[in-house]
Structure 1
Amino acid sequence: MKIVAGCGFRSIQRLLAVALLASVVDAGAQQGWVVRPEWVRAHEEFLASDALAGRGSATRDEQIAAEYVASEFVAYGLKPAPGMSGMIQAVDVVAPDLDGKATLTAGDVSLAEGTDLRVLFPSGVGANGPLIRLAAADAPQANIPRGSIVLLTDLPPNTNGLRNSFFLRGSGAAVVLFAENDALRAYLAKNPHPHQLMRLDQELGDTTPLPATVAAVSATAMARLLAEKPGTVATLTVHALLAKPRKTYNAIGYLVGSDPAAGTILLSAHLDHLGTVSTPANGDAIYNGANDDASGTTAVLELAHALAAGPQPRRSVLFVCYGSEEAGELGSEFFGKHPPIPLSQLVTNIEFEMIGSQDPKMPKGTLLFTGWERSNLGPALKEHGALVGPDPYPEQHFFQRSDNYQLALQGVVAHTAAGWGTPPTYHQANDDLAHLDLGFMTGAIQSLVEPMRWLATSDFKPSWNAGGQPKR
């Protein structure tokens, strides 16, 4: 063996590792690709490590995760997407910060922050619009007049109202109000400073409405607001402090297909999580996010690994890991506004979310596929060997709660493949490597390799079923 002068032992190790990987890739291309459990574990050990401090949205730790994903894309032989010089899409975001002296007035009602009003997630601007009443169960499908101030009523028992309100953040509503209850107070006791939602820095000419401000009011104040005549004009006044500029990061790799007219497949996940909290749970302040969504990121990485190692597909494939999903799906929102290829050329999008554990309601080894009944994509993948099946939690509206939804709203047939829909570790400090089912993860990814290869080489184009495409 010829050794380059000055090349140390670690460099020799790297050269040997590259040679070994090349032989594995060649064997995989010849004999059928095998997803190695040690590869799955290696991604998780880095992405979900304490060193990355939970990969908080729009933080340096998220950037490190994005750089890791991008470096793996390079190692697999992927190229920058059209129009990009590298594999990182840096996105300007705004994290509004208020002075804590907001007020809300409507008719004879006047509320002040710190007494009857608690601003939880601000857009950073005030609002002036009509009061509208909306039952929480109707929030996912509600058609809200732009600029409205929504009174969210009939919250399900033992819920804090946050999840119900989030369905309305991108609806065009200016403000969403709900009554403070014991569940919200318990949540805020554990999270005295709720995970701050952000928004994209609004670009010149962008008329997209800002996300709604989410606030809680006392039960007495809610009763007074509900006593006002529907349509009464309400005014929220806030005082925003100067916000420090921040960025979030999308990692994007591109596998070039042989037929430019055949379209492009998008395989995606989100690489951020919740970061750290000020109040540790059993001494642990880091929300590692091993399942949410380092597991989905791992799926994207290993599918890129497999497809890049085989024959060139007919269709191109974009592999994207978004930043700031936890802060309001900002990475995917920006991608949807600035795609490296026209969205009209996207054949489909499959998002991978929390595939780190088996859902007890699903057949053994099977991922749930959100919005199964909305298009013909899930059944087609299952027919070609993918271990996927209908989502058993329609009441949870998972289809609307992941990055796929941003593109689905724009007409792309886009779904999410997930493991356990509501695992005990969801948004908890124990979402770590020790609580992953790596065997399930590996098997699920393996089952997707050949179906993805089929999708990338066939002329099958997924389509929405009647009434399946969501509307804004």
Structure 2
Amino acid sequence: MRLDRLAVGLMVGLMVAPVFGQAAWTVKPEWVRAHEEFLASDVMAGRGSATRDEEITATYVASEFMGYGLKMAPGMSSYLQAAEVVSPRLDGHAVLKAGGVTLNEGSDFTLLISSGADVSGPVAMVSGDLKTARVSKGAVVVVGALPAGQAGMQAIGAVQRSGPAMVVVGEDESTQGLYTMFGGKTRTPIRLKDAAAGRTRATIVSVSKAGMAKLAGLGSGTVLSLHVHVVPEATARKTFNAIGYLEGSEPGSGTILLTAHLDHLGIGAPVNGDSIYNGANDDAAGTTAVLELAHALAGGPKTRRNVLFVCYGSEEAGELGSTYFGEHPPVPLKELVANLEFEMIGTQDPKMPKGVLLLTGWERSNLGPTLKEHGALLGPDPYPEEHFFERSDNYALALQGVVAHTAAGWGTPPTYHKPDDDLAHLDIGFMTSAIQSLVEPVRWLATSDFKPAWNAGGEPKRQ
């Protein structure tokens, strides 16, 4: 770590508070870049969910909160909230067998999704329109040619809904892309230790062209088995949330919640020789926004409402950190006035006006339009078909009645879940301006008596 980076970290708590009412607080690009230099550095190894690197990341965020003068949240004895997680870890040497055919993971196939247990069932060959295919529950579906791109993944999803034990598909660009999005690792189920095990998803295997040629000779009904090897964990795995608290002058007036996730995909399959999925945009950028808003609000006049700053762990593994926070909030959820989540604010979306962040679920409540009226560079999400509102940490709280939205830059940038999501591909100027635009609107929200509300029909409901 460079000396100038250490100096920044040590001096943040010594900043002289600005006079409210002037261009009250200036977010400096060197502060924004300094956070990214650390969080997205190769030494952090991609901040994998529920890893030691995630814990180091959470500790960094917590130390910055301390430096800004934030306190521990009510009832907490630390700036870190830890939760134990459970997930099988595989050794990467699975074997597919059927009759005299044996295929090996790595050389013959890629294990995309696994339950973490052995799987077997009678073969069912499927071709044609996969969206209308129906197979027996527990069968092993061997799929012919997939439609190109996203349509191929949607077709697999349609087959999965029939309840097969396993889906075997030929390797192509879409399966390779999916594996890259998983960080070049098999996706296995992960859950909080105290949570009930969820529904087991079908195992998905992507087989090479040569391997598929061998499987093509199998007759329907032949039993195809996948054998996996689980590596015992030496120690319990934990995920970590970093939490800082700014008490308002009227604590009973409610709490504003500002959040992001601090984890990413860790180390994965190399792409162009790079195996570190740095996550500079996803979501070191959002973490940086939370840090610099904490910096600004703590450095200004006391707010009327409390402000809770939280950076969640294990979002990439299934939003485990935010789930745990929702189950163990340091303040009652009914006291939360609003939640603003920050996700991938590191680049400008080409569909948005210059300099403007998209806000998911814009039309669902009056929060976004009101913040915009007070100067926030926010606008409607131009991708309603992607359902981004339901795909971020805000959603679990929204389901519990909290007016909660996510502010984002580019919905799905070219670097999404790839090793080149690094510092070189960030727009620090865009990030800085976006964060700057939110300082006074958020300060106003934390000082006023305005309470955001859902618009008619906008509040999401549990299915």
Q: 1:117 Cα deviation (Å)?
A: 10
Task: Write the letter of the residue equivalent to 1:246.
Answer: R
Aligned to 2:134: none
Distance (Å, rounded) in 2 between the aligned partners of 1:174 and 1:321: 37
Task: Write the letter of the residue equivalent to 1:67.
Answer: T
**Matching of residues 69-108 of structure 1 within 5 Å:** 69-97=61-89
Query: Could you tell me whether the CA contact under 8 Å between 1:195 and 1:274 is conserved in 2?
Result: no
In the alignment, which of 430, 433, 444 is matched to residue 454 of structure 1? 444
Q: 1:294 Cα deviation (Å)?
A: 0.7
Query: Could you tell me whether the CA contact under 8 Å between 1:67 and 1:88 is conserved in 2?
Result: yes
Query: Could you tell me whether the CA contact under 8 Å between 2:183 and 2:268 is conserved in 1?
Result: no
Change (3 A) 1:188 1:402: closer
TM-score where L is the length of structure 1: 0.77
Aligned to 2:340: 350
Query: Could you tell me whether the CA contact under 8 Å between 2:280 and 2:422 is conserved in 1?
Result: yes
1:340 matched to 2:330? The reply is yes
Distance (Å, rounded) in 2 between the aligned partners of 1:467 and 1:35: 37
Q: 1:366 Cα deviation (Å)?
A: 0.2
Aligned to 2:434: 444
Distance (Å, rounded) in 1 between the aligned partners of 2:95 and 2:372: 52
Distance (Å, rounded) in 1 between the aligned partners of 2:320 and 2:380: 27
Aligned to 1:232: none
Aligned to 1:223: none
Query: Could you tell me whether the CA contact under 8 Å between 1:199 and 1:211 is conserved in 2?
Result: no
In the alignment, which of 190, 198, 201 is matched to residue 209 of structure 1? 198
> Unmatched 5+ residue regions in structure 2?
97-101, 121-128, 132-136, 214-219
Aligned to 1:423: 413
**Matching of residues 228-247 of structure 1 within 5 Å:** 242-244=232-234, 245-247=236-238
Distance (Å, rounded) in 2 between the aligned partners of 1:431 and 1:83: 37
Q: 1:338 Cα deviation (Å)?
A: 1.4
Identity across aligned pairs (percent)? 59
> Unmatched 5+ residue regions in structure 1?
1-9, 104-111, 129-134, 138-146, 221-226, 229-234
**Matching of residues 276-291 of structure 1 within 5 Å:** 276-281=267-272, 283-291=273-281
Distance (Å, rounded) in 1 between the aligned partners of 2:360 and 2:228: 38
Distance (Å, rounded) in 1 between the aligned partners of 2:94 and 2:426: 43
Distance (Å, rounded) in 1 between the aligned partners of 2:183 and 2:30: 39
In the alignment, which of 438, 453, 456 is matched to residue 466 of structure 1? 456
Aligned to 2:246: 255
In the alignment, which of 372, 383, 391 is matched to residue 382 of structure 1? 372
Distance (Å, rounded) in 2 between the aligned partners of 1:36 and 1:443: 9
Aligned to 2:56: 64
Secondary structure of residue in 1 paired with 2:16: helix
Distance (Å, rounded) in 2 between the aligned partners of 1:459 and 1:430: 43
Give the superposed CA RMSD.
4.5
Distance (Å, rounded) in 2 between the aligned partners of 1:369 and 1:236: 43
Task: Write the letter of the residue equivalent to 1:376.
Answer: N
**Matching of residues 10-409 of structure 1 within 5 Å:** 18=11, 22-27=14-19, 32-97=24-89, 120-124=112-116, 157-159=148-150, 182-187=172-177, 193-194=184-185, 196-203=187-194, 206-207=195-196, 209=198, 212=201, 215-216=204-205, 242-244=232-234, 245-281=236-272, 283-409=273-399
Q: 1:434 Cα deviation (Å)?
A: 1.4
Change (3 A) 1:457 1:196: same
Q: 1:189 Cα deviation (Å)?
A: 7.6
Query: Could you tell me whether the CA contact under 8 Å between 2:358 and 2:380 is conserved in 1?
Result: yes
Secondary structure of residue in 2 paired with 1:57: coil
Secondary structure of residue in 2 paired with 1:352: strand
